[in-house]
Amino acid sequence: MSEFLLVRGIDVPNLTDIHECYEISQRDESFIFTINVSADNIESLITHFCSELVEPCFLIIESPTNETDERELRLNKMAPFHCDVYYCDGLSKQTLLELIKKYGELLVNDGIVCFGFASHISHDELYFGRYKIAKIFSANKQRYKNLMDKIGIPLEESIKTVWDNFSHETPGSTNSISVDGKNIYDVVDELKEYGLYFAERREQ
């Protein structure tokens, strides 16, 4: 089994038993694929998934609220942090693939951003949350089992994620990175040219 690689903006000191794999659970009529995907395979997963989407599609980006606003929102050190949620609607698969080619390196490797891709019609969605643990939401179980087979990620009955290895002695950490002098906030600004808009501010 090949080594499990973390993206550049994530540090996890204990990777014991962490490897590429996925599990499937069900909620109502929808299936949820929870996926451990190595850093060197993330862009392949994104590209294959987006190629399967029913148009029109949309992009989701969740970035931490800027420091100035956060200082006003958090009344004490125990208060939760916040994130800003953005959407870019009505995209073609071709546009999604172009955006992945242009911004994929930063989205994949930045430790503080969460992001996803989805269909307005089928509601199929691929979402990368904290520590780049991926989830696929879909009513079409077989389609995404086939996709996992195609990119070589095996199905397991129950998987272990990095969250299971965190402790006071071995905590994880996430950090922002820059690619070609740009960070995630620069990318958010540039994506506004494609129609990206602010949707809401959430507690993390």
pLDDT tens over the chain, length 204 residues: 578 999 999 999 999 999 999 999 998 889 999 999 999 999 999 999 999 999 999 999 999 988 888 787 787 777 788 899 999 999 999 999 999 999 999 999 999 999 999 999 999 999 999 999 999 999 999 999 999 999 999 999 999 999 999 998 889 999 999 999 999 999 999 999 999 999 999 888
Task: Count Cβ atoms below 10 Å from residue 53 Cβ, excluding itself.
Answer: 22
Q: How far is CA 203 from CA 10, 12, 84, 112, 168, in A?
A: 21, 24, 9, 14, 23
Phi, then psi, of 196 in degrees rounded to 5: -60, 135
Single-letter residue type at 165: N
Cβ(27)–Cβ(87) below 8 Å = no
Q: How high is the pLDDT of residue 81?
A: 86
Q: How high is the pLDDT of residue 1?
A: 58
Give the integer Cα–Cα distance in Å for 115 and 135: 11
List the one residue out of 101, 95, 98, 96 whose CA is nearest residue 116.
96
> Which residue's structure tokens are 């299971």?
164
